[in-house]
Homo-oligomer: A and B are copies of this chain.
């Protein structure tokens, strides 16, 4: 029974290992993209609303010195950290684990005065749970229109909060039951402020459900799986094997960190192009990708910076011309009109090739001298831990500056208390 399995998992012991190492990297990454997004319009709207509501000084807000109740902090920080769409992704269930789980874990860890170790362990439990629940719901749930980041994410956020509150299994099940009657989030909000807010809603739902369960709230114990439970009513497939090996195998280890401030569908291509010598000026660039992405990020001639984030042709041109696609600020309307970019863009052809996975891309360049170069990348082979650390740290440096990024990374490594991590969020 999924509810019981998750409730047991909530308090599983966690040994040091790759999963915890990757969790730390995701925590650094989450802080960095959250802080970088603090002045986005949706960030201001959510933060201003929370500050006007005020309340007990329980947890920190991104972009403010003022603390607010934990539920409000989770709502605001979840939204802000997804505002740039620059946070991590797990391709197994196509969700963004950190933006739903980290804000919930951090807010409840601050509320409870938990240790840094407890925060990190709870975040790992929550992130892994959100991926597992996403797999349990399956592709049908996603294809129907649900935003797994938000729906599966709310269960993960809840489990992280339950662990930090030391709720027993019975209360954890009541918390999951309460999440079952309110988890939500639709993909039809993509392209609006509703997308980042879906993450915030998930985080807030998880926190509120756990806090109410702590006070004795009673919900239906089979509210995820029963015929009128969350899964069946939300087009879930009920893939029971999605929970196999919980607390032994960590799917979270394969989370993918965005190193380019644009649609994740472009990343395999951009990584492949990273193997091309700077200053190359090929006469023809053929991008081979998975058909799924053609309806997502194949804007052939974007006019705006936002549209450019969904364009194979423009981002390939940027990469070849030496632009730093890791900088959110480099995607501008002016860039779309830059003659060098336009000239390169017009030499890019996007094609679909059999045998490539959603996480793979191949680029075939034909140089002016007639030579042919082929580069390939698979996001599912992200390199060694050291390589991943080095690249995510470089991203944090580019977003936060060297001194702050290094200090934050050091505190995370030292399992500094939640307040010491949250101190960075004000930006």
List residues of chain B with CB within 8 A of the CB of A300. none
- Listed stretches A187-195, A307-315, A345-353; interface member: A187-195
Given A55-B53, A192-B219: A46 touches B186 (CB 8 Å cut-off)? no
Q: Specify which chain B residues have a CB less than 8 angstroms from the CB of A340 in the assembled complex.
A: none
B-side contacts of A404, CB under 8 Å? none
Give the segment of A220-228, A259-267, A363-371, A384-392 that binds chain B: A220-228
CA gap between A218 and B41 in the complex, in Å: 10
CB distance from A349 to the nearest CB of B (A): 30
Name A181's contact: one of B46, B198, B233 (CB within 8 Å). B198
Contact B186 A223, beta carbon cutoff 8 Å: yes
Is the pair B145, A227 in contact by a Cβ cutoff of 8 Å? yes
Do residues B145 and A188 form an inter-chain contact, with CB atoms below 8 A?
no
Question: Quick one: CB contact mask for A30-69 with B, threshold 8 Å, 1 for yes?
Answer: 0000000000011001101100111110100000000001
Contact B184 A216 (CB under 8 A): no
A150 vs B192: C-alpha distance in the bound complex, in angstroms? 24
Q: A53-B71, A192-B219, A228-B187 are in contact. Are A212 and B180 (CB under 8 A)?
A: no
Is A139 among interface residues, defined by CB-CB distance under 8 A?
no
Contact of A48 among B72, B147, B183, B215 (CB under 8 A): B215
A186 lies within 8 A of B229 (CB) = yes
The CA of A145 and the CA of B150, in the complex, are separated in Å by 20
A228 to B146, CA, bound (A): 8
- CA A208 – CA B184 in complex, angstroms? 15
Q: A211-B49, A219-B192 are in contact. Are A183 and B184 (CB under 8 A)?
A: yes
Judge if A201 is at the interface, Cβ distance under 8 Å. yes
The listed residue with most B CB atoms (<10 A of its CB), out of A41, A188, A229, is A188
Known contacts A53-B56, A144-B228; A188 and B181 CB within 8 A of each other: yes
Residues of chain B with a CB closer than 8 A to A223's CB: 186, 188-189, 194
Residues of B within 8 A of A52 (CB): 56
Chain A positions 161 through 198: 1 when the CB is less than 8 Å from some CB of chain B, otherwise 0: 00000000000000001101111111111011110011
A113 interface contact, C-beta 8 A: no
Q: Which partner residue on chain B sits nearest A48 by CB separation?
A: B215
In the complex the two chains form, what is the Cα distance from A192 to B229 in whole Å?
A: 14
In whole angstroms, what is the CA distance A187 to B220 when docked?
Answer: 10
A219 to B222, alpha carbons, bound, how many Å? 33
A155 within 8 A of B: no
Judging by beta carbons under 8 Å apart, are A193 and B181 in contact? Answer: no
- Nearest chain B residue, comparing its CB with the CB of A193: B218
Check if A69 sits within 8 Å of B55, measured CB to CB: yes
In this complex, what residue of B is CB-closest to A146? Answer: B233
Q: What B residues does A208 contact at CB under 8 A?
A: 49
- A49 close to B194 (CB less than 8 A): no
Give 6 closest A-B pairs by Cβ, nearest first: A145-B228, A55-B55, A53-B69, A188-B228, A145-B233, A194-B219
- Give 26 pairs: A residue, B residue, CB < 8 Å, sorted on A: A41-B216, A45-B216, A49-B208, A52-B56, A53-B56, A53-B71, A54-B55, A54-B56, A55-B56, A146-B233, A177-B192, A178-B197, A180-B188, A181-B184, A181-B185, A182-B184, A186-B228, A186-B233, A188-B222, A188-B228, A193-B217, A193-B219, A194-B218, A194-B220, A194-B223, A197-B217
Question: What is the interface of chain A, defined by CB distance below 8 A to chain B?
Answer: 41-42, 45-46, 48-49, 52-56, 58, 69, 71-72, 144-147, 150, 177-178, 180-189, 191-194, 197-198, 201, 208, 211-212, 215-220, 222-223, 226-230, 232-235
Told that A45-B215, A53-B72 touch, could you supply 5 new A-B pairs with CB distance under 8 A?
A41-B218, A145-B232, A181-B201, A192-B219, A193-B219
